[in-house]
Structure 1
Amino acid sequence: MPPRPRPPGATMAAAPPSPALQPEQQRAADIIRLLTLYRPLLDAYVIDFFAEGLWAQLPPPWQAALATAAPPQLAGLLGGHGGGPGATWPLSLLAFAAAARALAFPRGRPGGSPRPPCHSARLHPLLRRHVKPKKQHEIRRLGKLLQRLSQATGCDRVVDVGAGQGHLSRFLAFGLGLSVTAVEGDGRLAGTAERFDHELLRELGKMGVSRNEGPPQRHQNPPNRRRRLSPLTPRGPCHVAGRLDPAAPWGEFLLPPDPPGPGPTAKNPLGGAGGCGGGQRVLVTGLHACGDLSPALLRHFARSPAVAAVASVACCYMKLSTPPQPPGCPVGYPLSAWVAGLPGHELSYRAREAACHALDEYVGRLRGESGCLRAHCYRAVLETLIRAADPGKKHPGVQTVKKAHALSFPQYARLGLPRVGLDPAAIPLESEAVGAMLEQQHKVVAFFSLTQLLAPLVETLILLDRLLYLREQGFQCALVPLFDPRFSPRNLVLVAARAPLGAVLSGLDGDSSEDGDSSEDGDTDMGGPEPPREGQTPPAPSAGHEPQ
C-alpha cells in the first residue's frame, strides 16, 4: 500500500503512530494499487487491438488460455462462477479477476421478478406517461429515499438539479407532495417538462382534483401492501432553466441555460424572495447528474448550510474534469485529500469512459454468445485499414453503425469509411489480411472482457473519492445500491446529510421487495463510444442531465 503522506515539516522520529485506516481509505488505496499494476490494460482502446498489437501485451499464459475460451467461459470468469466445462485459467488470471471483483463496490440484488413487467405498477398511471420502464423504476426508488430524507431532516423542499424532462420532479411533487424546484441546463428540456406538468394538471382537472387540495395522506405502516395507489396532489414542481456554477454561492448558483430555450429562467431561484425555494432549507438531488455536475452538487452541500441533505446518482465519468485545470476551476476528480495524496490515483479518459459500461449486461451477452460481440472486432479491423490508408488518422470519429453485427464486414466498412473522409472503393475490404483479422474475433472479445473486469473498480474509486471528501469534512454519508443493477447499471447513490442517516437507510431493504417492476430500455452499441481523437481535448463536461 502507498505510504500515507506526512504533514509538512514532520520527521520520522517526531511523527506519531499512524491511526488505523478507515475501510474506505484502505479500499481506495488497494484499488489504486491494482489499477496501477494493470494500467496498460486499463488504458487500452479495443479498437487498437490489431493496429497496436494489444494481444501480444498480455502474459503468455493468459494468451494461451483466453485464445481457446468460448464466450460463456469468459462470462464465468467475469461473474466469478468459474469457466464451465473445459475451462482452465492460469492462477495469475484467476487472482486478477478475484481481486477486481472483491474490491468493486457491491451493487446488490434487489428482490423482484427476474422478468419485470413493462411498466411500474407502483407508479400512478399519470406519472408513467412519457417515462420508460427503467426510469420508472429509478424515480420511484430515488423518490422514496428522498421522502425518507425529508422525514429525517424535517425539510420538504427538494431541488432536482439536472432534472431533464422532469420525471423525477413530477413524482416528488405530484406523487409525494414535496415542494420541488427542478433545475435543468437545457432550456428546451425545461420547457418540455412544464408542458408535461400542464398535461398532468389537465388530467387531474378532468378527475375533479382542485389545485387547492392538500397533498395525499402519508401512511407510515400501511396495513396492506397491495393497497390502491395514493392520489396525486395538484401542486407541481417549479421549473428553472439554468446551468450550475460550482464556484458561486448556493443562492446564486445558476448561469443562463445553454442553449436558451422556451423554459423559464431566473438568476437566483433558490435564495431570496423571488425564487422558487424562498431561501429555505432544501434537499438536493441529481439523477444521473452528468460529469462534473455530481461533484458540484457535493461541493454545494458541503459549504451551504441551507442544503440539509444530498442524494446523487452519477453518470458520464469520462466528462469529469481532472488536473491540471486553470486557476480557480475546481476539478471533478479527485475531490478528497486522501485519494489526491495516493500515488497513481490518476484516471485517464479511457479509464473513466470504461467505468460507464454495464458489466452485467456484457456478461449476459457473453453467456448468450450474442452476435453483437463482433462489433468490437469490426471496429478494430476498420481502425487498421484507416491507419494504413492515412497514417495521420488515429481514432477518427466513425461513430455508431446501427446493427453492425447484422452486416458483413465489407457492408460495415462501406458505411464507416466515408464518415472519416475515405473512399471504400480505394481500400481492399476482402483481402487475405482482413480475413485473418476477422478470424481473431474471439481474441478481441477475450481482451475486451478483461478490460470490463476493471471498469467497476474505476467507478468504485471515483465514488469512494466522493464519499471520502464528505467524510473528511465531518458529514454522515453512505453509498447505497439503490436500483436493480440488471436494469440500471449506474445504480449506486451517494447519500449525505447533516443529520443521522441510520433511520433513512435502514428501511430501504424493506422497500426493495416492491420494486421488481422495471425493465431496461434501448439498445447498447457494442462498439462503445469513440475515444477522443489524437491530440483532441475530450468533450467538455455537461452541466445538464441525460435526456429522459
Structure 2
Amino acid sequence: MPGVPAGPVTSRVLGGAAMAPQSPPHEQHSREQRRAADIIRLLVLYRPLLDAFVIDFFTEGLWAQLPPAWQPALASASPAQLAGLLGARGGPGAAWPLSLLAFAAAARALAFPRGCPAGSPRPPCQSSRLHPLLRRHVKPKKQHEIQRLGKLLRRLSRATGCERVVDIGAGQGHLSRFLAFGLGLSVTAVESDGRLVGLAERFDQELLRELGKTRGHERLPPRPLTPRAPQHVAGRLDPAAPWGELLPPDPPGPGPAARNPLGGPGGSEDGGQVLVTGLHACGDLSPALLSHFARSPAVAAVALVGCCYMKLSAGPQPPGCPTGYPLSTSVAALPGHQLSYRAREAACHALEEFQGRLRGGSPQLRAHCYRAVLESLICAADPAKRHLGLQPGRKAHTLSFSQYAQLGLPLAGLDPAGVPLDSGAVGAMLEQQHKVVAFCTLGQLLAPAVETLILLDRLLYLREQGFHCALVPLFNPRFSPRNLVLVAARTPLDTVLAGLDKDSEDSSEDTDSSEDEDLEEAESPRVRQSPHSPGHRAQ
C-alpha cells in the first residue's frame, strides 16, 4: 500500500473546502466532481486497507501488508496519539513518516465536515424541547434526532407551502408523532412491518388519552400539542413503480391494508404536493426515495438521512432492478468508483465513538483483538467456518479471552475443549492488541471518505437534474454517527438554510428534564448548498 501523493489530493481539497458556498452552481458542481474523483484516487491507492476485515488480522497477516515505514510508528503509538491521527489534534508520534501523515490529512480533508461537537462526551439526556408525552418510548438519541429533523421539515413546509409529510420507513412512528402532534403537520407514516404499524397506532392512542387527561403539567414546553394523529400505512416501497403506485399491496397480515398515501399520481388526496422524509432509511430505500422525488412532481422536497450503506445494491443489476450506488452519471463515469461490501460497511462506522475510546484508553478496544484471535482459532479448526459473523457478547471487554472464547466457539459449532486457549501462540496474538487497534484506526480514517463519496453521488445525481440540494450535518455525531441530512427541493432552499445554525430553537442543546443539567451544544452545522435552477425504510 503506497503512500498517497501529498500535493494534488490534499491541496485541491483544502482549496475547495475554503471556497465560499455562494459560488455559481456550475463551479460548485465541478468542485464536487473533483472531490469525488480525489476520494476515488485515495481509495484506489489504499483499497487493500479499505477492503480488509480486522478479524483477519492474524489469519491473513494484515500488519505485514502495511507500508514498512508505517509499521514502527504505529506499533509504538499510544491510543491517544492514534486518536490525534483521526482528529488532527493531540499530535502524532515523534517520528511518524510523512507518507502516513499525508494519508491521514488527505482522508480527513476529503470527508464532508460532520460538525465537531464541542460539548460533553455524555450521550444526550431527555430532551426538554420535546413535550413529555412525545418522549415516551423514545430513547434520548432518537429524541435528539426527531426534534432536529422535525424543525428542519417545518422550515421546508413553510418554504414550499406543503403541510403534508410522508414519512417513509416510519418504524414505531416517533418522528411522525412529533411532526403531527408537536408541529401540527398532516403526516402519513409508511412502514412495511405491520407489527410496528400496530405499535405506532397504539402509541398514538395512548398519547391522545394522556393528552386529554393532562392539565398544567409541570415544566411543559410553551408549545402545546395538537390532537392530530398521523395516519399509518403498512406497505413496501416499490422503487420502480411510479409515485401514483408507490405502495403495491402487501400479502395479508397484521396492520391496515397498504394504499398509496398520495391518492394518485398528481399529488396528495386533496391534489397538493407533499414533503417526503426518511430518518435513517436503510440500504436501497434511500436511493429509491431520491428516485421517486426526481421523477415525481407530487413531491415538493425531500429530507433524507441514509443508513446501512453495505445493503446498497452496487454494480450491474438485473434488468428492471435499480442500482443503489452509483446513482449519478458523474460518479459512474469515474474509473475505480466501485465500493466493496466491506468498504460500504466501513462507511457506517461511528468515528467519534471510536476516537473517544482511544482518547480514554477504553478497555472496549480489546474486543477487536479478541475477535481476531478467535477467528484465527476457528479457521485453524475448520477453514470452512471463516467469517461466520459471530457475536459472543456485547461486553466482551469485561471478560478474559478464555471466557470470551468459551462463548464464541460454540457459536461456530466448535467444542472449546478441543481448542488450545492457553497456548503460547494465543498469548503472542493477545500481546499484539495495540497493533490491532492501530490497524482499526487506519480503517476508521478512510470510513468518512467512503460515506462522503456515497453522499456525493446522491448530491450529484440531484444536481445533474437541476434540483436545489444541500447536505447538512444536523445531528451531533457523537450521539448519531449518520448525521448528514440530504435536503432537496424544486424551489430554492435559501430560506430553509438561512440562519439554520443560529436558530435558537434548533441550536440549543437538549437538557436533562429531571436534573436540569445543560449539555454543551455541538458546533453550529455548516451547510453545503447547491443553488440550482429547478428541474422538471418502508422496505
The TM tier, using the shorter chain, reads 0.7 to 0.9
Aligned residue number for residue 239 of structure 1: 232
Gap runs ≥5 in structure 2: 1-7, 10-25, 513-536
CA contact (8 A) 1:134 1:518 kept: no
Report the equivalent of 1:98: 105
Counterpart CA distance in 1 for 2:392 and 2:268 is 41
What's the TM-score once normalised by structure 2's chain length? 0.86
Give the superposition deviation at 1:252. 1.2
Q: Structure 2 matches for 1:372-451, cutoff 5 A?
A: 372-451=364-443
Inter-CA distance 162–306: structure 2 relative to 1 (3 Å threshold): same
Deviation at 1:263, TM superposition (A): 2.1
1:246–1:98 Cα change, 3 Å: same
Structure 1 partner of 2:182: 175
Question: Secondary structure at the residue paired with 2:502?
Answer: helix
Which whole-Å CA distance do the structure 2 matches of 1:308 and 1:364 have between them? 40
Offset at residue 268 of structure 1 (A): 2.4
Q: In structure 1, what is the Cα distance between the partners aligned to 2:302 and 2:144? A: 20
The question of whether the paired residues in 2 share the 8 Å contact of 1:487 and 1:518 is answered with no
Shift, 1:516, TM fit = 1.3
Match of 1:251 among 215, 238, 244: 244
How far apart in 2 are the matches of 1:518 and 1:318? 34
Does 2:90 match 1:59?
no
Residues 1:186 and 1:356: Cα distance change in structure 2 (over 3 Å): same
> Which stretch of structure 1 is more off in the superposition, 487-496 or 502-511?
502-511
Match of 2:132 among 125, 138, 158: 125
Judged with a 3 Å threshold, the aligned counterparts in structure 2 of structure 1 residues 347 and 400 are, in CA distance, closer, same or farther, namely farther
- Alpha-carbon distance between aligned partners in 2 of 1:278 and 1:346, rounded to the nearest angstrom: 43
Residue-by-residue CA offset, 1:314-336 (whole Å, 9 max, x unaligned): 01000101122111100100000
User: How far apart are 1:238 and its partner, in Å?
Assistant: 0.3
2:117/2:476 contact within 8 Å kept: yes
Deviation, structure 1 residue 511: 2.7
CA deviation after TM superposition for structure 1 residue 514, in Å: 3.8
Does 2:471 correspond to 1:464?
A: no
Measure the CA separation in 2 of the matches of 1:429 and 1:174: 57
* Candidates 478, 499, 513, aligned match of 1:507: 499
Q: What is the rounded CA distance, in whole Å, between the counterparts of 1:30 and 1:52 in structure 2? A: 29
Deviation at 1:510, TM superposition (A): 1.5
Q: TM-score, normalised by structure 1?
A: 0.85
1:337 to 329, 350, 354: 329
Aligned to 2:338: 346
Q: Distance in 2 between matches of 1:375 and 1:103?
A: 29
Q: Is 1:206 the equivalent of 2:213?
A: yes
User: Does the CA-based 8 Å contact 1:113-1:517 persist in structure 2?
Assistant: no
Provide the residue aligned with 1:368 in structure 2.
Answer: 360
Paired residue secondary structure (1:243): coil
Partner of 1:159: 166
Q: Give, as a single letter, the amino acid of the residue that structure 1 aligns with 2:336.
A: G
Aligned pair in 2 of structure 1 residues 428, 110: CA closer, same or farther (>3 Å)? closer
Name the CA distance, whole Å, in 2 between partners of 1:393 and 1:189. 35
Match runs of 1:279-294 below 5 Å: 279-294=271-286
Residue type of the alignment partner of 1:57? Q
Q: Percent of pairs identical after alignment?
A: 78
In 2: Cα distance, 1:336 partner to 1:488 partner: 27
Match of 2:84 in 1: 76
Residues 160-217 of structure 1, C-alpha deviations (whole Å, 9 max, x = no match)? 00001001000100011100000011111111100000001111222479xxxxxxxx
- The one-letter code matched in structure 2 to 1:342 is L
- The answer to whether the aligner puts 1:49 opposite 2:62 as a matched pair is no
Unaligned runs of 5+ in 1: 3-18, 210-225, 520-542
Alpha-carbon distance in 1 for matches of 2:297, 2:424: 67
Once residues 107 and 25 of structure 1 are traced to their aligned partners in structure 2, the CA distance between those partners, rounded to angstroms, is 20
Whole-Å separation in 2 of the counterparts to 1:90 and 1:499: 49
Classify the secondary structure of the residue corresponding to 1:160. strand
Displacement, 1:455?
A: 0.3
After superposing the two structures, state which structure 1 stretch, 504-513 or 484-493, moved more.
504-513
1:240-319 matches, cutoff 5 A: 240-257=233-250, 261-272=253-264, 277-319=269-311
d(CA) in 1 for partners of 2:166, 2:443 = 37
SS in 2 for 1:22: helix
Any idea what SS the aligned residue of 1:236 has?
A: coil
CA contact (8 A) 1:477 1:497 kept: yes
Q: Counterpart amino acid of 1:37? A: L
Aligned partner of residue 60 in structure 1, secondary structure: coil
Instruction: Show the counterpart of 1:517.
Output: 510
Aligned-partner residue type, residue 62 of structure 2: L
Which residue of 28, 31, 35 corresponds with 2:36? 28
Answer yes or no: is the 8 Å Cα contact 2:112–2:452 preserved in 1: yes
Contact 1:112/1:516 (<8 A) preserved? no
- Contact 2:129–2:221 (CA<8 Å) still a contact in 1? no
Give me the whole-angstrom Cα distance separating, in 2, the residues matched to 1:416 and 1:117.
Answer: 33
d(CA) in 2 for partners of 1:52, 1:518: 48
Matched, 1:37 2:29: no
Q: Greater CA deviation, 112-121 or 156-165? A: 112-121
TM superposition shift of 1:117: 5.7
Matched-pair contact (CA < 8 Å) for 1:252–1:270: no
Matched residue of 2:460: which SS?
helix
- For residues 435 and 144 of structure 2, what CA distance do their matches in structure 1 show? 37
Can you list the C-alpha shifts for 1:280-311, whole angstroms capped at 9, x where unaligned? 31000000000000111000000000000000
Closer/same/farther in 2, CA of residues 112 and 294 from structure 1, 3 Å limit: same
Asked if 2 retains the 8 angstrom alpha-carbon contact of 1:160 and 1:183, the reply is: yes
Change (3 A) 1:57 1:112: closer
Which whole-Å deviations, capped at 9, do the CAs of 1:428-455 have from their partners, x for residues lacking one? 1110111111100100000010000000
Residue identity in the other structure for 2:309: Y
* Counterpart-to-counterpart distance in 2, 1:69 and 1:362: 16
Partners of 2:296 and 2:148 lie apart in 1 by 26
Give the corresponding residue for 2:147: 140
Q: Secondary structure at the match of 2:486?
A: strand
1:92-143 alpha-carbon deviations (Å, 9 max, x no partner): 0000000000000001246766657621111111111111111111101100
TM-superposed deviation, 1:256: 4.2
Aligned partner letter, 2:209: R
SS at match of 2:376: helix
Superposition RMSD in Å: 2.2
* Cα distance in 1 between the residues matched to 2:511 and 2:410: 40
Q: Deviations over 1:34-61 (max 9, x none)?
A: 0000000000000000000000000111
Secondary structure at 1:335 match in 2: coil
Tell me the SS of whatever aligns to 1:485: coil
Matched position secondary structure for 1:310: strand
Find the aligned partners of 1:29 and 1:135 in 2 and give their Cα distance: 35
Counterpart residue identity of residue 183, structure 1: V
Task: Give 1:517 deviation, angstroms.
Answer: 1.3
Aligned partners of 1:114 and 1:516 also within 8 Å: no
1:347 match: secondary structure: coil
CA positional deviation for 1:502: 0.7
How many angstroms does 1:544 deviate by? 4.0
Given the superposition, is the C-alpha separation of residues 318 and 279 from structure 1 closer, same or farther in structure 2, using an over 3 Å criterion? Answer: farther
C-alpha distance in structure 2 between counterparts of 1:114 and 1:434, whole Å: 35
Number of residue pairs matched by the alignment: 487
